[in-house]
């Protein structure tokens, strides 16, 4: 068991885009530091968030343009101003202006030639070149091609013709360097934030999607690792069969891995990917962990996930290689959905904690594994996740019979205090880490939900503002964390 899981802790789930701030989405700005201070005052030791990669138009953090890069939209211009890397910056209210100011910062950085920063910049480019070179070229090309996905590019670019790419690197050198600069600044800002969190005894908990986006630098640069044909079109795609969230399943559309090829070099692609995550986070969750034991393969021509089938994956070999490369890994398995005994065995073999979701607990079966009296220490308990409704919204939409069962289980006479009895239930659980979504701490309803799986509209937009956070919440949380040994 990793040392991080040997004591009881409390955590909060909040993606940085949900932080307050002047732009349409939150950033690594002063409010991120203020949030860490607020967590420390509450006695909360873990800040969990979603993936940090650059997103497509739908803003989904689970379909990023890179498995390594950080989202430039998260970059704080205040951080650049505070370090004299951006002067005469106007008030920025939209991402078009934000992009323009990043380009100004790049030009000022190039002209100033600060020796210390230049050395750090050159070192960053050397250390991260194995992904940064392809990513920055990919992004420059994407701009040149009007934002089109790589599989719609001219064949020579799509298929990475060596002579064409060499010429392209020369022609787009300035834009390539700009995208490298954005990554340099992102990682510098994030390391500062991570250090501040450590000073305040707050661990950063990240999320690594099991799959990468079809339209990503990773797939474009290493097509041989994915189930694509000679034209770059997917043959099979990822998803999950019909389940709690959707009657037709979920067709995610990610290309599947060619596990046989990945295994030949002991999963170097995965090792490098995890190395990046460990630079960013103290704890890493493997999203859709069950896909490491068996994955749902959907013919690419199918519009839904119904006609997929299960194929075994070499998860044991992969995890063994990762543990060899990174001893005592701080991993968490997202073991939700259609979980078989084989998935439990895989997780337990590598001593990874799984997840217990209270919103899944109250089906009337006293043997339901999500009920608190069924929990074990080596697990994480949540009231709900980013894919669930808020706990208040969930409760309000339940049938009366289920609400009565929940009140009976929690010992309630009325439901006016919800969702706090559910939060208290999570904190009282024997699970080593209890994570509460920020929406639940603010007792918000369904209109503040972060994501509805299987839909593409209206997701990833929720944000809080500081006036929503009552002053008494610090003492309330601190008391409960102390009461249940999680302070």
Chain-centroid distance, C-alpha 449? 16
The DSSP secondary structure of 355-402, one letter per residue, reads EEEGGGT-SS-TT-TTSGGG--SSEEEES--TTSPPHHHHHHTS-HHH
Rounded to 5 degrees, φ, ψ at 212 are -115, 160
**Catalytic annotation on 334?**
yes
| Cα–Cα distance list, 330 to 5, 41, 227 (Å) | 8, 25, 30
The most distant pair of C-alpha atoms in the chain lies apart, rounded to whole Å, by 74
CB 273 within 8 A of CB 286: no
294: left (phi over 0), alpha (psi -120 to 50) or beta: beta
Give the active site residue among 334, 335, 389, 440: 334
Catalytically annotated residue among 287, 335, 389, 440: 287
Is 37 part of the annotated catalytic residue set? no
Asked if residue 286 lies in contact with residue 346, where contact means CB atoms within 8 angstroms, the answer is: no
In whole angstroms, give the CA distance from residue 329 to residue 315. 15
Least Cα distance to 174 among 264, 257, 97, 107 occurs for 107
Given the residues 177, 387, 415, 417, the one annotated as active site: 387
Burial of 373 (0-12, 13-18, 19+ CB in 10 A): exposed
Q: 228: helix, coil or strand?
A: strand
Those residues whose C-beta lies under 8 Å from the C-beta of residue 446, and which sit 6 or more positions away, are 389, 390, 392, 393, 394, 396, 397
The beta-strand segments (E) located in 114-245 are 203-208, 236-240
Helix (H) or strand (E) holding 79: helix 77-82
Q: For residue 337, give the nearest of 289, 392, 381 by alpha carbon.
A: 289
Written as six digits, the tokens of 22 are 């002047």
CA neighbor of 130 nearest in space, from 175, 183, 171: 183
* Tokens coding 327: 């001893």
Pairing mode of beta strands 331-333, 283-286: parallel
387 has catalytic annotation: yes
Asked if 485 and 7 touch (Cβ cutoff 8 Å), the reply is no
Residues near 342 by beta carbon (within 8 Å), at least 6 away in sequence: 293, 294
Rg (CA), the chain: 23
Closest to 187 (Cα-Cα) out of 274, 125, 95, 100: 125
* Strands annotated E in 230-293: 236-240, 250-255, 283-286
Which residues participate in catalysis according to the annotation? 287, 334, 387
């Amino acid at each position: 068991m990793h040392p991080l899981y040997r004591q009881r802790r409390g955590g909060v789930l909040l993606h940085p885009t949900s932080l307050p701030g002047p732009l349409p989405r939150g950033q690594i700005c002063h409010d991120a530091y203020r949030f860490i201070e607020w967590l420390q005052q509450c006695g909360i030791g873990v800040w969990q968030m979603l993936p940090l990669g650059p997103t497509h138009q739908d803003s989904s953090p689970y379909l990023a343009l890179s498995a390594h890069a950080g989202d430039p939209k998260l970059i704080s211009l205040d951080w650049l101003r505070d370090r004299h890397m951006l002067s005469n910056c106007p008030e920025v209210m939209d991402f078009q202006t934000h992009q323009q100011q990043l380009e100004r910062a790049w030009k000022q950085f190039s002209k100033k030639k600060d020796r210390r920063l230049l050395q750090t910049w050159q070192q960053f480019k050397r250390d991260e070149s194995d992904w940064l070179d392809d990513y920055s070229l990919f992004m420059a090309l994407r701009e040149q091609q009007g934002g089109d996905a790589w599989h719609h590019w001219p064949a020579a670019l799509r298929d990475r013709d060596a002579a064409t790419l060499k010429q392209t690197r020369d022609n787009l050198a300035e834009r390539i360097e700009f995208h490298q600069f954005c990554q340099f600044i992102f990682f510098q800002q994030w390391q500062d934030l991570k250090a501040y969190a450590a000073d305040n005894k707050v661990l950063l908990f990240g999320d690594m999607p099991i799959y990468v986006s079809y339209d990503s630098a990773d797939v474009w640069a290493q097509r041989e690792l994915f189930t694509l044909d000679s034209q770059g079109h997917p043959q099979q795609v990822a998803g999950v069969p019909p389940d709690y969230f959707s009657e037709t399943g979920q067709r995610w559309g990610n290309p599947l891995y060619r596990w046989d090829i990945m295994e030949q070099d002991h999963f170097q692609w995965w090792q490098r990917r995890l190395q990046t995550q460990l630079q960013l986070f103290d704890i890493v969750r493997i999203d859709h962990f069950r896909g490491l034991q068996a994955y749902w393969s959907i013919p690419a021509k199918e519009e839904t996930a119904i006609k997929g089938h299960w194929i075994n994956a070499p998860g044991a070999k992969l995890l063994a290689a990762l543990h060899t490369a990174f001893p005592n890994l701080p991993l968490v398995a997202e073991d939700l959905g259609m979980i078989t005994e084989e998935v439990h065995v895989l997780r337990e073999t590598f001593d990874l904690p799984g997840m217990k979701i209270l919103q899944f607990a109250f089906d009337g079966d006293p043997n339901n594994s999500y009920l608190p009296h069924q929990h074990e220490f080596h697990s994480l308990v949540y009231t709900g996740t980013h894919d669930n409704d808020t706990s208040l919204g969930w409760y309000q939409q339940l049938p009366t019979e289920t609400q009565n069962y929940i009140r009976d289980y929690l010992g309630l006479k009325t439901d006016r205090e919800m969702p706090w009895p559910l939060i208290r239930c999570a904190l009282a659980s024997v699970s080593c880490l209890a994570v509460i979504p920020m929406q639940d701490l603010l007792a918000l309803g369904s209109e503040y939900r972060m994501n509805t799986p299987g839909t593409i509209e209206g997701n990833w937009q929720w944000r809080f503002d500081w006036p929503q956070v009552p002053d008494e919440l610090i003492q309330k949380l601190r008391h409960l964390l102390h009461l249940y040994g999680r302070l």
